[in-house]
């Protein structure tokens, strides 16, 4: 299948209180991409995702999502935010949380119909969480909750999935299982994964971009030490890719 351009950012700048958060960003995301975006805290990673979603308007430059504005195109995007804040004692079931992904289609008056419920069941099957559909979501582990939130995003059959630090609340021992789920999902959609974990990203994604206000991106997962030093503002001596990837930072 020929790749299709889903998102295009051209010379995008974002300012906050006259301070540039994103500078001259040029990026194309295609239908077969699994892109990892790494960079330090405060480097603009979350801002970039919100620009794609149309939640933040650029100070300069253009953004298109499936050939239209982000506000119109974002219905084709699934988004998992960095922090999912909710009352863990609130008695809401997994199935009800996943159904919320269909709310924009159902609306307050119509309510959920059989098609919405079938979409929720299919999404839960995809993330291997159907057996948990009647469980209280606040009682699940961090990894299980992330699967539920992904299922919620999948109910609208997105063409692009945006994940902002998705493993932050997942026990390290369960992170490999989570990345394996993304491996399965990428067969049907493009994925953009924002993370500060260089090692994990280097294994699973197809391409890596470095972002620290400016974007360093060449359409591959080979990132030079010089680009990493520019991104993280500290000297990088080695990034090793293998069964146990690791990074070595020189003193600074």
Task: Encode pLDDT of 129-168 as tens digits.
Answer: 999 999 999 899 888 999 999 999 999 999 999 999 888 7
- The crossing angle, in degrees rounded to 10, of helices 142-154 and 172-185 is 20
Model confidence band, residue 247 (pLDDT cutoffs 50, 70, 90): very low
Parse the chain into domains and list their residue ranges: 5-86+158-249
* Enclosing H/E stretch for 119: helix 114-126
CATH of domain 5-86+158-249: 3.40.50.300
Predicted confidence at residue 180, as pLDDT, reads 87
State the average pLDDT for the chain.
Answer: 83
Predicted confidence at residue 109, as pLDDT, reads 59
Question: Strands 207-212 and 34-38, how do they pair?
Answer: parallel
3-state secondary structure of 141: coil
Predicted confidence at residue 224, as pLDDT, reads 59
Predicted confidence at residue 178, as pLDDT, reads 86
- Please say if the pLDDT value at position 75 is more than 80: yes
- Please say if the pLDDT value at position 63 is more than 60: yes
Predicted confidence at residue 241, as pLDDT, reads 45
Task: Encode pLDDT of 5-36 as tens digits.
Answer: 999 999 999 999 999 999 999 999 999 899 99
Provide mean pLDDT across the span 177-202: 85
Cβ–Cβ < 8 Å for 73, 55? no
- Please say if the pLDDT value at position 246 is more than 60: no
Model confidence band, residue 205 (pLDDT cutoffs 50, 70, 90): confident
Question: What's the CA gap between 122 and 111, in Å, rounded?
Answer: 19
Task: Encode pLDDT of 213-243 as tens digits.
Answer: 999 887 666 665 666 666 665 544 444 444 4
Predicted confidence at residue 250, as pLDDT, reads 43
Task: Residue 230: count other Cβ atoms within 10 Å of its Cβ.
Answer: 14
Q: Kindly state the tokens that stand for 67.
A: 């050939």
Predicted confidence at residue 148, as pLDDT, reads 93
Task: Encode pLDDT of 82-136 as tens digits.
Answer: 766 666 667 899 999 999 998 876 555 567 889 999 999 999 999 999 999 999 9
Predicted confidence at residue 16, as pLDDT, reads 92
């Amino acid at each position: 299948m020929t790749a299709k351009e889903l998102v295009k950012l051209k010379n995008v700048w974002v300012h906050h209180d006259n301070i540039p958060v994103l500078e001259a960003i040029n990026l194309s995301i295609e239908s077969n991409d699994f892109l990892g975006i790494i960079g330090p805290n405060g480097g603009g990673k979350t801002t970039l995702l919100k620009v794609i979603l149309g939640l933040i308007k650029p100070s300069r430059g253009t953004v298109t999502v499936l050939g239209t504005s982000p506000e119109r195109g974002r219905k084709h995007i699934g988004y998992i935010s960095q922090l999912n804040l909710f009352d863990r004692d609130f008695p809401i079931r997994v199935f009800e949380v996943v159904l919320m992904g269909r709310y924009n289609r159902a609306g307050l008056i119509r309510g959920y119909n059989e098609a919405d419920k079938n979409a929720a069941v299919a999404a839960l099957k995809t993330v291997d969480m159907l057996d948990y559909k009647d469980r209280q979501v606040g009682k699940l582990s961090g990894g299980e909750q992330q699967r539920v939130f992904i299922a919620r995003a999948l109910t609208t059959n997105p063409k692009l999935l945006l994940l902002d630090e998705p493993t932050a609340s997942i026990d390290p021992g369960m992170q490999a299982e989570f990345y394996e789920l993304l491996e399965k999902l990428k067969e049907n959609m493009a994925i953009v994964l924002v993370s500060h974990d260089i090692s994990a990203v280097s294994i699973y994604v197809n391409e890596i971009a470095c972002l620290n206000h400016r974007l360093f991106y060449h359409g591959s997962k080979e990132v030079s030490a010089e680009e990493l030093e520019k991104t993280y503002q500290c000297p990088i001596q080695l990034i090793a890719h293998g069964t146990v990837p690791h990074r070595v930072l020189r003193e600074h």
